[in-house]
Chains A and B, each alone.
Chain A
Amino acid sequence: MNVAWRIARRELRGGLTGFRVFLACLALGVAAIAAVGSVRESIEAGISEQGAVILGGDASVELTYRRASEADLAYLKSIADEVGEVIDFRSMATLPDGSDRALTQVKAVDGAWPIYGEAVLDPAIPLDQALGNQDGLPGAVLDPLLIDRLELSIGDTVRLGTQDFRVSAALVRAPDSAGGGFDFGPPTLVLTEALAGSGLISEGTLFDSEYRLRLPPGSDLAALKSATETAMEGSAPRWRDARDGAPGVSEFVDRLGSFLVLVGLAGLAVGGVGISAAVRAYLETKTEVIATLKTLGASRRTIMATYAIQIGVLTAIGLVAGLILGALIPLVAGPIITANLPIPADIAIRPGPLAEAALYGIIAAALFTLWPLARSENIRAAALFRDASLGAEGWPRPFWIVVTLALAALLVGTAALFSGMAEIALWSAFGIVVAFVLLVSAGRATRALSRRLARSGLARGRPSLRMALASVGGPGNEAASVVLSLGLGLSVLAAVGQVDNNLRGAIARDLPDIAPSFFVVDIQPDQIDPIRERVETDPAVSRMDAAPMLRGIITRINDRPAREVAGDHWVVTGDRGITYAADLPPRTKITEGDWWAEDYDGPPQISFVAEEAAEIGLSIGDTMTINILGREITATLASFRDVDFSSAAMNFTITMNPSALAGAPHSWLATIYAEPEAEAELLRDISRTYPNITMISVRDAIGRATDLMGTIAAAITYGALITLATGGVVLIGAAAAGVRARTYEAAILKTLGASRARILANFALRSAILGAAAGIVAVFAGGMAGWAVSTFVMRTSFVFEPVSAIAIVSGGIALTLAANLAFSLRPLAARPAQVLRARE
């Protein structure tokens, strides 16, 4: 080993010139993974440090559809130093003259809010002044989006239900704004007591109430959670605490971060192509040295060790560069990242993700350098005396093949372990391997096709084209390496493009046919008939469905706790919409059992959703206990129904016979199907006549969901761009390595009478052919991936989207052209005599 180390040191004196691509590929891949991991951990650290602020208290107890009873409130006050109440519901913010309205998420608070953190208002006035009475009107603080949307100014009046409010400030930032889930509209902050005259919080309206607790220091959160769940059992409380202040957000960040690390690994795989090519090219120049060393008595082991040491030193340099870059990117981009996040991020150097990235880098470098390194064992001393065909050709020894496979398995295993999404990691690895095989085959096919075309009639009389095709189809590895390095990055981009476009397309395509224009909630029983009359006489409305709506929680199944029977099934994890009906509703199919008679008034019965019933293992005749507003109703399952939730039409998991729910306070829910152009008028008219009800435009709601999809697609696109950048480095490396060959070719062609323009055209054409091949393969692979994701994950129809496909192919051509033409100028300028005589 000492000998190997000494020889390696002497060889490294030559400098790092031949290894720029090696270092760039490794550093870029490691930096990308390190940066993504660091940002993810910074966000998670921010969430955990600020958990209580995001949650709005040390703990929060949420009730659906009701406020806490005297007893519940007394209990909460007994465990907490301070209790604050927040009532949360959707409503319409209306101008007093009724000329305009917009959906808003009302947060009605008491004097305790916010228990932790500060609300940022514009103008910066104290909160109690902003919400208090002034000129006889209570104050309201509105989200700036809502102020813009309704063209309001500070001091103007806005109406919620039947109550007018004075707009006192804009809500720039609420400390607890990130903890909630998906809101339908921008928030409006008011005092709960000011809503007394609004008609908005009445029995049967849909609202959540949340009790934020400031607990004594050192409280045992886990113990309090179970104590509260027992003490308030009849109210079905949902407990959250500062241990995880924003579960939805942190899960989302975690998932997206892990996914981006996987995309980063794809980048490292592309970089691996460049790493492998660089090592191969380096060892090719060392054939004579290796043969000489063997002649002088060096063993295979010594030689392998000599070059492994050199690669090891280079890997260390690349890793350190990558880690420094990966640690710096989040720090430099920190202000931009925090400004774009609704949650606090504690941007800092994070050793954990850096170590993870280093581990990936080491395994990937070992994996991709081992093959060419092991092949150098095949170089024989006789290479010095005969031609170079005794060089590093063929397969390495079986031992090294096994080690290579083990390293690949280790890389995939590490990714599966660290990402926390083993299944997705394995599928991604499988996808990358398939893409590799596909791209290598495509590279070979491109070569074979080019060779064939070069000899066909197509190329006759077109010397530039013929020469370009002959070059792509000739000996050498350019086609395979360009298609591989560029293809993988372009494939990811193409897949994102296809999925994103299809999803948006599916919404635009399918929405008018299947989804209603509006969900109308909080319709009071006495309002449903006049609304039905107004809507059904409107020629622009094709259909209106309405049903009474209650919410309840399934507490027991067959007299056992529901969680025990159904586990974590979504049906039992929260409150569900419940309705009643005498007749079988239209478009409903009974799959098992019988619907009750129209005038049935016996013991309560339930018609349940068939698919979910099968998942939980329910049978006809089973009993189910449902807690509706604190009242427990036990009913028998009388029938199962088919329900398609994807149509966005009105559906209920549980339908009961009318007499079972007689007397329970409830509101009505309606869906209205109207022509798009009639929607605005309908919205204005109904919400003016019935100020208490809320109309949710499905188009807007889906638009918000689509925007969220767009954000995810953008994040993935950035990930794909890193892969593409690595591919670009490999491409530039290949182009730089080809300068000598191109210079030689240009000199010969000049001697034979080719003009510089013609030679340039030849070089450009071959780049274009390779770029187009990479692009076409990427579009094909991306299209397949897009189809699979659309069909199996998103469950939407798939239509091939040509615009992004054309962009991908053009991008591929442009990238290869740019990389290659930049390295064609020197060959083109070289004097033929000098070049040719240098080779004599």
Chain B
Amino acid sequence: MGNAGPVDILRGISLSVGRGETVGLTGPSGSGKSSLLMLMGGLERATSGRVAALGRDLGPMDEDALARFRRDHMGVVFQSFHLIPTMTAIENVATPLELAGAPDAFARAEAELAAVGLGHRSGHYPAQMSGGEQQRVALARAAVTRPEILLADEPTGNLDGSTGQAIMDLLFGLRDRHGATLVLVTHAPELAERCDRVIRIEDGLLAA
């Protein structure tokens, strides 16, 4: 925090997302949209107020309980992919299944990689893949557990236009196939438009 003192990033937000709904969060840089997404995923804690997912209050859960909750119900995609650099593509995708104790983790991971068009790159490390390929691996990793909730934080922010388009097609395709709830943070209005509902955040407040 430093000497600047704490800053309230989000203030007085009340938001409810229905099961199976797709929601686009937009707003200028620093408006708090990524912070809101992190709160929804239990990756960040609210200093006050209540965050609930699938009917369960995330507030009282400790860090391990939150991790288990994400393992069983959520998939998260980041702007910078965040693949584990010491693991190959297939190992990255299989990890959440393994954490959940799935006996067929690798078979399912292989199928998921194939579904995002990367069946032939399963043995490659992240550093050996392009940005677009890395993000496809990250998508496969988020979707492989068939989560009820998909959280995506500017998934095309680090990619060029056409690659970004392909990633979005994949993301929405995965959501449509499995019927998950999708919350998507994006700068691009045309991407947000593909969601059922678009919410704009400005200066930590809901604008629309």
Q: Does B98 contact A (CB under 8 A)?
A: yes
Seen from chain B, the residues whose Cβ lies within 8 Å of a Cβ on chain A are 34-35, 38, 41, 43-44, 63-64, 67-72, 76, 78-80, 82-88, 91, 95-96, 98-101, 103, 105-106, 125, 127, 141, 154, 157
Given contacts A748-B82, A751-B43, 5 further A-B contacts (CB under 8 A): A749-B84, A749-B95, A752-B95, A757-B64, A834-B44
- Chain B residue numbers with a CB within 8 Å of A748 are 82-84
- Chain B residue numbers with a CB within 8 Å of A754 are 67, 71, 99
B84 shortest CB reach to chain A, Å: 6
- Please, how many angstroms separate the alpha-carbon atoms of A461 and B102 in the complex? 7
Flag if B141 contacts A752 (CB, 8 Å). Answer: yes
Flag if A837 contacts B100 (CB, 8 Å). Answer: no
- Please, how many angstroms separate the alpha-carbon atoms of A741 and B87 in the complex? 13
B71 nearest CB neighbor, chain A only: A753
Flag if A467 contacts B79 (CB, 8 Å). Answer: no
Flag if B41 contacts A751 (CB, 8 Å). Answer: yes
22 examples of A-B residue contacts, CB within 8 angstroms? A460-B106, A461-B98, A463-B95, A467-B87, A467-B95, A470-B88, A470-B91, A474-B85, A474-B125, A475-B125, A745-B86, A747-B82, A748-B83, A752-B71, A753-B69, A753-B99, A834-B44, A836-B78, A836-B80, A837-B34, A839-B80, A840-B154
B128 nearest CB neighbor, chain A only: A475
Q: Does A397 contact B (CB under 8 A)?
A: no
- Please, how many angstroms separate the alpha-carbon atoms of A239 and B62 in the complex? 85
User: Quick one: CB contact mask for A678-708 with B, threshold 8 Å, 1 for yes?
Assistant: 0000000000000000000000000000000
B125 nearest CB neighbor, chain A only: A475
Asked, given contacts A467-B87, A475-B127, whether A753 binds B78 with beta carbons under 8 Å apart, the answer is no
- Chain A residue numbers with a CB within 8 Å of B141 are 752
A449 shortest CB reach to chain B, Å: 15
Seen from chain A, the residues whose Cβ lies within 8 Å of a Cβ on chain B are 454, 460-461, 463, 466-467, 470-471, 474-476, 741, 744-745, 747-758, 831-834, 836-837, 839-840
- Please, how many angstroms separate the alpha-carbon atoms of A471 and B91 in the complex? 11
Among B35, B38, B43, B71, residue most surrounded by chain A Cβ atoms (within 10 Å): B43
Flag if A751 contacts B86 (CB, 8 Å). Answer: no
- Chain A residue numbers with a CB within 8 Å of B86 are 470-471, 474-476, 745
- Please, how many angstroms separate the alpha-carbon atoms of A231 and B22 in the complex? 115
Among B44, B67, B86, residue most surrounded by chain A Cβ atoms (within 10 Å): B86
A834 nearest CB neighbor, chain B only: B44
A189 shortest CB reach to chain B, Å: 72
Q: Which 6 A-B pairs have the closest CB atoms?
A: A753-B71, A474-B86, A463-B98, A833-B43, A833-B44, A755-B64
Flag if A750 contacts B67 (CB, 8 Å). Answer: yes
Contact pick for B82, options A460, A461, A466, A836, CB 8 Å: A836
A770 shortest CB reach to chain B, Å: 13
Flag if A461 contacts B101 (CB, 8 Å). Answer: yes
- Please, how many angstroms separate the alpha-carbon atoms of A756 and B83 in the complex? 19
Asked, given contacts A756-B64, A839-B82, whether A474 binds B87 with beta carbons under 8 Å apart, the answer is yes
B8 shortest CB reach to chain A, Å: 16
- Please, how many angstroms separate the alpha-carbon atoms of A470 and B63 in the complex? 25
- Chain B residue numbers with a CB within 8 Å of A751 are 41, 43, 70, 76, 82
- Chain A residue numbers with a CB within 8 Å of B99 are 463, 749, 752-754, 758
- Please, how many angstroms separate the alpha-carbon atoms of A832 and B82 in the complex? 11
B162 shortest CB reach to chain A, Å: 20
Flag if B98 contacts A466 (CB, 8 Å). Answer: yes
B34 shortest CB reach to chain A, Å: 7
A702 shortest CB reach to chain B, Å: 55
- Chain A residue numbers with a CB within 8 Å of B69 are 753
- Chain B residue numbers with a CB within 8 Å of A833 are 35, 38, 43-44
- Chain A residue numbers with a CB within 8 Å of B157 are 840
- Chain B residue numbers with a CB within 8 Å of A463 are 95, 98-99
Among A745, A751, A756, residue most surrounded by chain B Cβ atoms (within 10 Å): A751
Flag if A836 contacts B67 (CB, 8 Å). Answer: no
- Chain B residue numbers with a CB within 8 Å of A753 are 67-72, 96, 99-100
- Chain B residue numbers with a CB within 8 Å of A461 are 98, 101, 103, 105
- Chain B residue numbers with a CB within 8 Å of A836 are 43, 78, 80, 82
- Please, how many angstroms separate the alpha-carbon atoms of A750 and B76 in the complex? 11
- Chain A residue numbers with a CB within 8 Å of B83 are 748
- Chain A residue numbers with a CB within 8 Å of B88 are 470
B72 nearest CB neighbor, chain A only: A753
- Please, how many angstroms separate the alpha-carbon atoms of A474 and B125 in the complex? 8
A839 nearest CB neighbor, chain B only: B80
Flag if A840 contacts B79 (CB, 8 Å). Answer: yes
- Please, how many angstroms separate the alpha-carbon atoms of A778 and B28 in the complex? 58
Flag if B87 contacts A752 (CB, 8 Å). Answer: no
Contact pick for A831, options B44, B106, B125, CB 8 Å: B44
- Chain B residue numbers with a CB within 8 Å of A832 are 43
Flag if B67 contacts A831 (CB, 8 Å). Answer: no
- Chain B residue numbers with a CB within 8 Å of A454 are 91
B43 nearest CB neighbor, chain A only: A833
- Please, how many angstroms separate the alpha-carbon atoms of A152 and B63 in the complex? 73
- Chain A residue numbers with a CB within 8 Å of B44 are 831, 833-834
- Please, how many angstroms separate the alpha-carbon atoms of A748 and B88 in the complex? 15
B101 shortest CB reach to chain A, Å: 7
Flag if A745 contacts B72 (CB, 8 Å). Answer: no
- Chain A residue numbers with a CB within 8 Å of B87 are 467, 470-471, 474
- Chain A residue numbers with a CB within 8 Å of B103 are 460-461
- Chain B residue numbers with a CB within 8 Å of A757 are 64
- Chain B residue numbers with a CB within 8 Å of A741 are 85
- Chain B residue numbers with a CB within 8 Å of A466 are 91, 98
A455 shortest CB reach to chain B, Å: 8
B34 nearest CB neighbor, chain A only: A837
- Chain A residue numbers with a CB within 8 Å of B95 are 463, 467, 749, 752
Among B35, B88, B99, residue most surrounded by chain A Cβ atoms (within 10 Å): B99
Flag if B96 contacts A752 (CB, 8 Å). Answer: yes
- Please, how many angstroms separate the alpha-carbon atoms of A750 and B41 in the complex? 11
- Chain B residue numbers with a CB within 8 Å of A471 are 86-87
Flag if A831 contacts B85 (CB, 8 Å). Answer: no
- Chain B residue numbers with a CB within 8 Å of A747 are 82
- Please, how many angstroms separate the alpha-carbon atoms of A475 and B70 in the complex? 28
Flag if B101 contacts A756 (CB, 8 Å). Answer: no
Asked, given contacts A745-B84, A753-B67, whether A831 binds B43 with beta carbons under 8 Å apart, the answer is yes
- Please, how many angstroms separate the alpha-carbon atoms of A485 and B44 in the complex? 39
- Chain A residue numbers with a CB within 8 Å of B41 are 751
- Please, how many angstroms separate the alpha-carbon atoms of A532 and B82 in the complex? 89
A341 shortest CB reach to chain B, Å: 53
B39 nearest CB neighbor, chain A only: A833
B106 nearest CB neighbor, chain A only: A460
B133 shortest CB reach to chain A, Å: 14
Flag if A475 contacts B85 (CB, 8 Å). Answer: yes
- Please, how many angstroms separate the alpha-carbon atoms of A836 and B154 in the complex? 13
B83 nearest CB neighbor, chain A only: A748
- Please, how many angstroms separate the alpha-carbon atoms of A475 and B44 in the complex? 30
- Please, how many angstroms separate the alpha-carbon atoms of A755 and B43 in the complex? 13
A772 shortest CB reach to chain B, Å: 19
B82 nearest CB neighbor, chain A only: A748
Flag if B85 contacts A752 (CB, 8 Å). Answer: no
- Please, how many angstroms separate the alpha-carbon atoms of A840 and B153 in the complex? 10
- Chain A residue numbers with a CB within 8 Å of B68 are 753, 755
- Please, how many angstroms separate the alpha-carbon atoms of A834 and B85 in the complex? 19
A740 shortest CB reach to chain B, Å: 11
B164 shortest CB reach to chain A, Å: 16
- Please, how many angstroms separate the alpha-carbon atoms of A750 and B43 in the complex? 8
- Chain B residue numbers with a CB within 8 Å of A749 are 84, 95, 99
- Chain A residue numbers with a CB within 8 Å of B154 are 840
- Please, how many angstroms separate the alpha-carbon atoms of A802 and B79 in the complex? 53
- Chain B residue numbers with a CB within 8 Å of A834 are 44
- Please, how many angstroms separate the alpha-carbon atoms of A752 and B94 in the complex? 11
A130 shortest CB reach to chain B, Å: 76
- Please, how many angstroms separate the alpha-carbon atoms of A833 and B72 in the complex? 19
- Please, how many angstroms separate the alpha-carbon atoms of A750 and B44 in the complex? 12
- Chain A residue numbers with a CB within 8 Å of B71 are 752-754
- Please, how many angstroms separate the alpha-carbon atoms of A753 and B75 in the complex? 10
